[in-house]
Amino acid sequence: MADQPPIGLKHSGLICCICGARPAVVATKRPSTPSNADISGSVGGGSPAEIGRRGRIHMVVFIRTHPIKIARKTQNYFAGQEPESAMSVTELHALISLLEDPDEGIYTTVKQELERIGEAAVPSLRKALEEDGHGAMFLDRAKSILDQLATDEIRTSFAGWVESPDHGLTTALLLLDQYVDPASETSSLREDLQRIRQDIWLELHDDMTALEQVRVVNRIFFEHHGFDGTRGGAARPMHALPSQVLSQRKGNSLALGALYLAMVQELGLPIHGVNLPNHFILAYCDGGHLGEFSADGSPGSVLFYINPFNKGGVIHPEEVNAFLGHLDLPVDQGHCGPCHPVDVLRRLIGNLAYAYERQEDLGQAERLRELLFFVEGCSAPQNAERSE
């Protein structure tokens, strides 16, 4: 059998991660045939590095000649069969390591099998990209495959978020960041957000008024953690991407507003995004009057507005009405009322796509526009329900 150790050779104790065979390293009295020698590597002992090299040769030859068996392993990985028949994490890592091989045939086979595994291969690919010692070819290949697999995974997660009842904005921000850079880990980003939220929570009290609550949030967010708005200059992704805004503590009005909103949303404060033209602001609302309107057509639930680009400064509703009048726009729910979190996400994606386009990263801009189209498609049923 082709996947059994060659006759006449003792085993080294190592097992091939793909086929289960043991590469031979010590000759016995019966000589090996040339074909067996080709599979097992040079006959004889050697250093651990040499033994590992011969094991790698064995894997390369096996993947070249046994694509059907590899495909079966991959199918078993999906089916959840027993460990002895399914592809283990070790086998998956071994498969990924073959992306280093310059042979295009090997690369094509490995790529197809990783695509067959799908989302389950994403964590191992991310881990491999974090390891040192890989060449440029491996990094390019691994990142290309990861981008494809992670894109499908993240889009599925976005669809689930759109359909979920709570629409936690923190989750959407993390997904957006990982969509832009699939190789990145979001654990540190989540921890930073949780730390800010905790600092705000410790200062809030139940007997505070709405204005007092906002002053606490502003002091912790802008003064203690140092967030600030960027002024002047062309649109830049670093001022629109959540992870970059968190690390540099600087962002445009939309990015700052989204982070601010994510914090207060988790704290249970009745603050919502507002799709004011050319400027994203927030609204502190009276939850008992959502959906009601004043005599002038403005949303009756809004107590006051918050400008995250101006250190959380409070804006009176009449000022917003005057601003809309200056633009010849109606004072209505669509322009100055609380908007849905999905609308915030859509505006974030569009803003980020524009920033990448201005930086002439047209590939990333196109990916984001594809995501925007996808999210709009997912949110179409929710929009129809809200309009009824």
| Whole-number average pLDDT of the chain | 78
| pLDDT given at position 35 | 42
Give the mean model confidence (pLDDT) for residues 38-47.
Answer: 43
Query: How confident is the model at residue 379, as a pLDDT?
Result: 77
| Between residues 315 and 48, the one the model is more confident about | 315
18-41 average pLDDT score:
41
Q: What is the pLDDT of residues 326-365, one digit of tens each?
A: 988 888 888 888 899 999 999 999 999 999 999 999 999 9
Given a cut of 90, is residue 17 above it in pLDDT?
no
Worst-scoring range by mean pLDDT, 80-84, 206-210, 308-312? 80-84
Tens digit of each residue's pLDDT (9 = 90 or more) over 203-230: 999 999 999 999 999 999 999 999 999 9
From the CB of residue 336, how many other CB atoms can be counted at a distance below 10 Å? 26
pTM of model > 0.85: no
What is the DSSP annotation of 200-251? HHHH--TT--HHHHHHHHHIIIIIIS--EE--SS---GGGTSHHHHHHHSEE
Amino acid at 278: N
Return the pLDDT at 87.
Answer: 65
CA angle 145, 148, 154 (to 5 degrees): 130
DSSP 288: G
Euclidean distance between CA atoms 284 and 282, whole angstroms? 7
Distance from chain centroid for Cα 130? 16
Count Cβ neighbours within 10 Å for each residue of 350-367 and write b for 16 or more, e otherwise. Answer: bbbbbbbbeeeeeebbeb
Most confident of 119-133, 150-164, 292-306: 150-164
pLDDT band at 36 (very low <50, low <70, confident <90, very high): very low
Q: Mean per-residue pLDDT for 53-64? A: 48
Paired residues of 305 in beta bridges: 283, 315
**Does 143 score more than 60 pLDDT?**
yes
Reading phi first (left if > 0) and then psi (alpha if -120 to 50, else beta), residue 307 is in beta
Per-residue pLDDT band for 300 (boundaries 50, 70, 90) equals low
Report pLDDT digits (tens) over 241-273: 999 999 999 999 999 999 999 999 999 999 999
The band of 22, judged by pLDDT with boundaries at 50, 70 and 90, is very low
SS3 182: coil
Higher pLDDT pick, 156 / 10 = 156
What lies within 8 Å, CB to CB, of 180 at 6+ separation is 237, 241, 352, 364, 368
The domain segmentation of the chain, as residue ranges, is: 9-65, 67-161, 162-387
Reported confidence tier of residue 380, pLDDT bands at 50, 70, 90: low
26, pLDDT greater than 70 = no
